[in-house]
Chain A
Amino acid sequence: MDRPIRVLVSKPGLDGHDRGAKVIARALRDAGMEVIYTGLRQTPEQITNAAIQEDVDCVAVSILSGAHGTLIPKIAELLRKEGADDVLLVAGGVIPQEDIPFLKEHGVAEVFTPGTPTDVTIQFIRNNIKR
């Protein structure tokens, strides 16, 4: 049976700029996905628990404050601890190129930097979800 892909869209940390998160939420919805939006100021624990309860295929986090190096690997680690490492983790926002290898080593499948068309993100999620 054809089932919609479920994606958790979240803003980790204290950063309040949610334009990108909301745009991507709408774009994923328009691509037929079921988006669970958690809003601002989410801790890695909150994001992980939500991802598990919602049984999502993908967690998409948006972060522009520069705290990505601390917060995103923590989400990956918590997901792994919960045995939910089949959840695809992607990130977007103001993330310098040179930080991307570090994030990828720490459980992030892909990083979408400013200017990435939403289609690229949509296709990446479609092609890489693990079930």
Chain B
Amino acid sequence: MLVGCEGFLDERPDKSIVVPGSIDDLNLMLDNSEVLNFVPSLGVFSSDDIYFPIEAYNSLTNAVERNAYTWQPEIYEGEFPGDWRSCYQIVYFANVVLEKALEFLENEPDNAEIKEIVASAKFFRGLGHYNAVSIFAGQYDPADVEELGIPLKLSQNVLERPVRSTLGESYEQILMDLEDAVSDLPDFSAIKTRPSKYAVYGLLSRIYHSMGNYEMSRFYADSVLTGPYSLMDYNMFNSSILYPFERYNSEVVFHASLVHSATFSRVTTLVDSAMLNKYEDGDLRKSLYFIDRPTGKSFRGQYSGMFRWFGGIALDEMYLNYAEASIRLGQVEEGIEALNELLDHRYMAGTFESYTTESIDDPMSLVVAERRKSLIHRGVNWLDLKRLNREGIYGRVLRRIVDGVEYELLPDDPRYVFPLPMEEVILNNMEQNPR
């Protein structure tokens, strides 16, 4: 009846809402660093990175944090499972972008921009799934890949209910997504929330390291060390500034934040004095990482230039991965050399004396200790705890005394695996982790 009727009804009801239909639309989604650039923070609350005096503990309003701190079997108390949610939101965004981009690719199979989008989406899907497996599944063990893994979500269809895969399958999928992503990503990205080749190498190094696959960890760490990044000389920084390190500084390979909590910025969120005592005189990490508070010292040395705690990939972690992997693989000298280079940038000028194979008898203990000191409050300590606990010698018993009650977490404790949120158990019939 009305000619041109179709065009009339094709007008979008709200200009601010689009059905993503262009490369730009997808890139805008990939730039959502408020969803995509996160790593879990539960491990920090359960690790010995953090310390709450009793008043601070009592004023924690978030039950999940309070319960994670004292390693309660059940942690959620009906509150929002922020970490789990973050992992699968990353996966969801990645899947939405990936499916659209693959559609585009059918028409333009050689479009490099679209291929980059596909690669970025795979990178983030890998990141999201790794975030989940690192917190909600047990330590990877090549001898026991049939252990419970995580649900792998590989489509954007929200109504499709995933089931828990095995630990082996989980890691396989994560590694496949990341290794797929490498070739189509740019070498370097100035906006470091966007993935690059080096970001993939860095993440792969972290993952392989946590799996105990030191050959691959060393290989990828080495790849990053050849990249356009450089260690910062901590002598150049001013500890009187609240956040001495800038966002996207020369060590940052890929930016991600720990899933944010208001607790991070509270003056009563401290670091245990036993931990602080591990930093020697002349170690600039002590003054740059920590700030004086009325009741102790708090961490503030994040590589984000702001209140968010950094959990992304940085060069110092790559040095440490390379060092540890080298030592484990018998290339002790190379390992110590990498460690020396890192520490030389961490100590007050002229105070650091390089280690040699002769001067130290247990290079493993040294590198493990330096990992703790450098990578505090990035979520890496939790990965190390899980990994090292398996080896007996480097594992440790975590202890807290809260309000006169002593809590203890033994190296083989099932509470190293966090429980799934109730919603997954109720709505998706997922098997709960024993705790």
Same complex:
no
